[in-house]
């Protein structure tokens, strides 16, 4: 049979059982829609995270206490909640003397309750120096940042995130208001611009920044750092600075065996590729769950096609009597199931695209910070291919069964 005629025949076959065809398609529609949705959201989330990390600056080098053992996917112990006290002021001072570095910004972190009048909420705080604002490229919408004096003389002042300012003070000006941070009275001296997520996923719009000395000694009562961010001098690459930092720290910690490093030094690039890998793995993982629903949909197709083959035994016999070869019958039924899943795929893509748009509208408003609309062509291509392939794979068995029917048995069938 000419392909065009086979196609017409297949469309006819499906049209005669409209409701059943639509119901059968549903499994594929749902499967494809979720694949599209998950792949799109995954790719948007990935570019969001990467954009934000990239916004932090590509000449940055991050130093965290503790060694990263094994694969690069295992995070340093400090990030796993294990307290490591090896990164100290002595290290920061040694790094400040290092030529290849423009600035060295040590910091400590914690969670604390912040109270203003009747408002109280728990936020992340950072203990930082004036260098922090330079390396992180943070801008203020009002007020000023810390001076070296603020840090040296334990001044009870704070720079707070834009959302936190809004939550605490509403439309009032934040600067010069006094808030309680744990048991300390702290005067707000500055408010950050909207900054979005920072490194390690800290919501910079809801954080409180305190002078390093106040946070470290008075709030936390410790004498080590959680993180040191260094900015490479423009004359040097981040990789070079990374190498210098490693040798300075080894010297400081008297380490001769590289396997015994008690710190981890990562460039922005390292962090980026790691993050990229993690989000890709998440996307692949979620998408493969969606594929399971496609398999279920495929089994539905197979089931219905088998029923259809039995119901149409007589038609098959007739077609064979009139000169249809086994190949013609196989083609007819295979085309039917492919058409079914292809259509299901197209409808699934449309529905998926609808939800991607919906997610975009909602997320770009709530997250504020650049949730990009993304409907990757690769996802659409994959969806079409996979849905059609589902039709082939799950339609093949019923189609073979149909094509092998004996014409007389089939004609005799009532």
Partner 1 sequence: MIEVSKLSKDYRDDGTVTHALRDVSFSIKPGEFVAIMGPSGSGKSTLLHILSFLDRPTRGIYTFLGNDMQTLVDHELAYTRNKEMGFIFQSFNLLSRASVYENVELPLLYAHMPVGDRRHLVEAAIESVGLSDKILVEAGKLSGGQKQRVAIARALVNKPQIIFADEPTGNLDSHSGAQVMEILQKLNDEGHTIILVTHETYTAEFADRLIKIRDGMVESDIRIEKRRHGGKDFFK
Which chain residues interact with partner 1 by CB under 8 A?
1-2, 4-5, 9, 12, 16, 314-315, 317-328, 407-408, 411
Sign of the dihedral defined by the CA atoms of residues 267, 210, 143, 196, in that order = positive
HSE value, Cβ hemisphere, 13 Å, CA-based, for 191? 18
Q: Which is nearer to partner 1, 72 or 412 (CB)?
A: 412
Minimum CB distance to partner 1, residue 329 (Å): 10
Minimum CB distance to partner 1, residue 405 (Å): 12
36-69 burial, b for 16+ CB within 10 Å, e for fewer?
A: bbbbbbbbbbbbbbbebbebbeebbbbbbbbbbe
CB 387 within 8 A of CB 294: yes
Q: Which is nearer to partner 1, 55 or 407 (CB)?
A: 407
Minimum CB distance to partner 1, residue 402 (Å): 15
HSE value, Cβ hemisphere, 13 Å, CA-based, for 91? 30
Minimum CB distance to partner 1, residue 27 (Å): 26
Phi, psi of 198 (to 5 degrees): -105, -170
Minimum CB distance to partner 1, residue 5 (Å): 5
Minimum CB distance to partner 1, residue 388 (Å): 24
Q: Which is nearer to partner 1, 46 or 403 (CB)?
A: 403
Q: Which is nearer to partner 1, 327 or 370 (CB)?
A: 327
Minimum CB distance to partner 1, residue 307 (Å): 17
Give the position of tokens 């249809």.
Answer: 324
Distances (CA, A) of 280 to 40, 41, 42, 43, 348: 12, 11, 7, 8, 23
Q: Which is nearer to partner 1, 16 or 90 (CB)?
A: 16
The DSSP call for residue 400 is H
For every residue of 221-266, which 3-state class applies, written as one string? CCCCCCEEEEEECCCCCHHHHHHHHHHHHHHHCCCCCHHHCCEEEE
Q: Which is nearer to partner 1, 89 or 406 (CB)?
A: 406
Distances (CA, A) of 2 to 5, 15, 20, 316, 331: 5, 20, 27, 18, 11
Q: Which is nearer to partner 1, 94 or 411 (CB)?
A: 411
SS3 state at 95: helix
């Amino acid at each position: 049979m000419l392909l065009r005629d086979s196609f017409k025949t297949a469309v006819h076959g499906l049209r005669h059982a409209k409701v059943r065809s639509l119901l059968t398609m549903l499994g594929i529609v749902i499967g494809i829609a979720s694949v599209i949705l998950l792949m799109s959201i995954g790719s948007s989330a990935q570019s969001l995270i990467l954009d934000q990390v990239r916004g932090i600056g590509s000449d940055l080098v991050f130093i965290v206490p503790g060694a990263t053992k094994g694969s690069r996917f295992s995070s340093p112990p400090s990030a796993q909640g294990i307290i490591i006290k090896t990164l100290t002021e002595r290290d920061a001072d040694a790094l400040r003397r290092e030529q290849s570095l423009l600035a060295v910004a040590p910091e400590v972190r914690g969670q604390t309750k912040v109270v203003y009048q009747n408002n109280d909420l728990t936020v992340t705080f950072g203990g930082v120096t004036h260098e922090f604002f330079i390396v992180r490229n943070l801008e203020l919408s009002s007020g000023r940042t810390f001076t070296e004096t603020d840090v040296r003389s334990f001044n009870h002042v704070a720079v707070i995130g834009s959302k936190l300012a809004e939550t605490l003070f509403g439309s009032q000006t934040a600067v010069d208001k006094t808030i309680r941070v744990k048991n300390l009275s702290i005067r707000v001296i500055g408010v950050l611009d909207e900054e979005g997520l920072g490194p390690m996923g800290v919501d910079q719009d809801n954080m409180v920044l305190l002078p390093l000395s106040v946070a470290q000694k008075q709030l936390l009562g410790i004498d080590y750092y959680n993180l040191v961010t260094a900015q490479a001098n423009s004359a040097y690459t981040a990789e070079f600075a990374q190498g210098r930092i490693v040798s300075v720290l080894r010297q400081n910690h008297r380490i001769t065996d590289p396997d015994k490093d008690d710190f981890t030094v990562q460039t922005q690039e390292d962090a980026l590729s790691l993050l990229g890998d993690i989000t890709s793995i998440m996307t692949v993982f979620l998408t493969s769950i969606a594929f399971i629903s496609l398999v279920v949909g495929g089994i539905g197709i197979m089931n219905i096609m088998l029923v259809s083959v039995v119901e149409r035994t007589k038609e098959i016999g007739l077609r064979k009597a009139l000169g249809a070869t086994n190949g013609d019958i196989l083609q007819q039924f295979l085309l039917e199931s492919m058409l079914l899943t292809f259509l299901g795929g197209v409808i699934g893509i449309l529905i998926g695209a609808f939800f991607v748009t919906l997610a975009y509208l909602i997320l770009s408003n709530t997250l504020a910070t650049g949730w990009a609309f993304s409907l990757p062509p690769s996802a659409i291509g994959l969806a079409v291919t996979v849905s059609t392939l589902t039709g082939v794979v799950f339609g093949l068995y019923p189609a073979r069964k149909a094509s092998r029917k004996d014409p007389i048995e089939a004609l005799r069938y009532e």
